[in-house]
């Protein structure tokens, strides 16, 4: 569900009302009352998560002068993990955009002005122009039928020379544009389009609500290069495009990279230890071959197996946040690390122990698509109780993972590879095996806990009949 914009108000005075004096009912006394009538409202940068301190404007869905209806999406904001559509509380007109696309604003600072009627648009634009030196002030919030929302005090917006938005005329209209006025694309797609010299107005988006994502730009660039360029011996492929990197340059973190950096530094305060285990995967591989045609993914199988093992070892699914106590989590929510454009995110499979493998696989595919389009809602990536990180598809045989803050353990999964092993009858045989390494919070989980958990996990994977129940 889209988030609502925090909106403050400027006011004008209004009319006089006559009411009776309760003490002298026979002599009505005129009493002046102010009816508050909103004219111009500030649209503030909303807090899209509990850890968000600033947000980046990905794109304005509406343009200056557009009429807005309550609940209508106005702007796309990039938080630390996702791009989210933000709605307006009120009807009115988008009078002035104060932070352009690509701009960053602190939570609670003004990013635009909303005028109640067309008559106030010009006044709002004058206020926005003067805000570069002094921010627009607002008095107490207007009373509405909407549940009251306490917004943080507005801070001065990022200085900018002008508030008028530059609108580029589009040569064609497609789902990712608003009447051909503004193209809606992910930040990475815009960056990629600039590097590959792709006109975004010619790209048809396949992301949520027609938003253009990186793969759309890559596909168009690949098709455009099907005819070899001058001096080239063969057409370019649709694989990852070459990016010109200026060696020695200093590149600031993106919003997501900043969030990852803070989490990794925070994880250093937790005393952790690691335990590894080798698991034979022949039976799991055989099961996967049988049911993958039904849409089952290996990630879902591993998540399901892990969840079933955690049912028997709840301490491994626990978490310690304050250093003085720990919580036996009531749900088993498996977070699985996914690499996306410019960062890393961990979509969460809720109640993975209770959901059947086919539903779990469908949910996983949906989460991955939303993650890569940066459309995950906070509850879809912040509620994990145990984390999986799988690099096996890249041929990595073993690695250690860093424990995410607020969780008890994370398991790193390596590739399944043929190995010579000794059989029970003294012979040598060939079996597929994978190495898993678990990093755990030693304040809560001990070596014996992990050893028992890994033994249970190995039994489930080596005899996976329960995974399809």
- Evaluated on CA atoms 161, 112, 154, 34, the torsion sign reads positive
Alpha carbon separation from 47 to 21, 57, 76, 103, 120 (Å, rounded): 46, 13, 13, 16, 28
Angle between helices 282-291 and 447-462 (to 10 degrees): 50
Report the Cα 174 to chain-centroid distance in Å. Answer: 25
Q: Which residues face 112 on adjacent strands? A: 43, 97
C-beta of residue 189 within 8 angstroms of C-beta of residue 213: yes
The two structure tokens encoding residue 399: 């690695």
Alpha carbon distance 439, 276 (integer Å): 9
Residue 174 designated active-site: no
End-to-end CA distance of the chain: 33
Q: Using CA atoms, how far apart are residues 401 and 411, in angstroms rounded to an integer?
A: 7
Handedness of CA 167, 171, 173, 177 (dihedral sign): negative
Q: How far apart are CA 401 and CA 438, in angstroms?
A: 8
Could you give the dihedral angle defined by the CA atoms of residues 170, 173, 175 and 177, in that order, rounded to the nearest 10 degrees? 30
Please choose, from the candidates 232, 277, 55, the residue with its C-alpha nearest in 3D space to the C-alpha of residue 152: 55
Phi, psi at 83, each rounded to 5°: -95, 130
- Residues found in the chain: 469
3-state secondary structure of 169: coil
- For the chain, give the longest Cα–Cα distance: 111
Catalytically annotated residue among 6, 174, 379, 442: 442
Rg of the chain over all Cα atoms, to the nearest angstrom: 28
Residue 9: strand, helix, or coil: strand
Non-local CB neighbours of 207 within 8 Å, separated by 6+ positions: 176, 186, 213, 216, 373, 375
Whole-angstrom Cα distance, residue 310 to residue 306? 6
* Catalytic residue ranges: 442
């Amino acid at each position: 569900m889209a988030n609502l914009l925090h909106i403050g108000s400027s006011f004008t005075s209004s009319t006089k009302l006559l009411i009776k004096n309760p003490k002298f009912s026979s002599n009505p006394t005129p009493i002046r009352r102010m009816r508050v009538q909103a004219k111009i409202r500030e649209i503030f940068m909303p807090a899209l998560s509990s850890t968000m301190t600033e947000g980046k404007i990905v794109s304005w869905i509406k343009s200056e002068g557009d009429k807005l209806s309550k609940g209508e999406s106005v702007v796309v904001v990039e938080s630390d993990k996702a791009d989210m559509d933000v709605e307006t509380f009120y009807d009115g007109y988008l009078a002035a955009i104060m932070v352009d696309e690509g701009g960053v604003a602190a939570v609670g600072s003004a990013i635009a002005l909303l005028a109640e009627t067309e008559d106030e648009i010009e006044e709002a634009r004058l206020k926005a122009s003067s805000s570069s030196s002094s921010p627009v002030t607002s008095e107490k919030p207007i009373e509405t039928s909407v549940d009251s929302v306490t917004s943080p005090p507005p801070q001065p917006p990022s200085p900018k020379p002008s508030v008028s938005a530059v609108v580029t005329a589009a040569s064609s209209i497609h789902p990712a544009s608003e009447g051909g006025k503004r193209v809606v694309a992910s930040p990475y797609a815009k960056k990629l389009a600039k590097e590959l010299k792709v006109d975004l107005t010619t790209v048809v988006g396949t992301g949520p609500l027609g938003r253009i994502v990186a793969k759309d730009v890559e596909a168009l660039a690949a098709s455009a290069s099907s005819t070899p360029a001058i001096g080239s011996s063969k057409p370019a492929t649709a694989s990852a495009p070459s990016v010109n990197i200026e060696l020695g340059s200093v590149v600031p973190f993106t919003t997501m990279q900043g969030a990852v950096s803070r989490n990794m530094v925070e994880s250093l305060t937790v005393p952790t230890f690691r335990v590894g285990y080798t698991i034979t995967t022949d039976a799991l591989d055989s099961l996967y071959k049988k049911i993958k045609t039904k849409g089952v993914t290996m990630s879902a199988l591993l998540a399901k197996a892990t969840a079933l093992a955690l049912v028997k070892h709840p301490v491994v699914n626990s978490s310690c946040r304050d250093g003085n106590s720990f919580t036996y989590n009531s749900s088993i929510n498996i977070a699985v690390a996914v690499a996306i454009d410019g960062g890393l995110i961990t979509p969460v499979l809720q109640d993975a122990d209770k959901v059947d493998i086919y539903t779990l696989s469908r949910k996983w595919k949906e989460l991955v698509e939303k993650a890569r389009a940066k459309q995950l809602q906070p509850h879809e990536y912040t509620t994990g109780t145990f984390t999986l990180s799988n690099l096996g598809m890249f041929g990595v045989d073993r690695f250690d993972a860093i424990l995410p803050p607020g969780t008890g353990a994370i398991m790193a999964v390596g590739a399944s590879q043929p190995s010579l092993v000794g059989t029970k009858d003294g012979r040598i045989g060939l079996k597929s095996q994978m190495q898993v390494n678990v990093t755990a919070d030693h304040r809560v989980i001990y070596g014996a806990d992990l050893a028992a958990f890994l033994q249970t996990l190995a039994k489930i994977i080596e005899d996976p009949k329960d995974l399809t129940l």
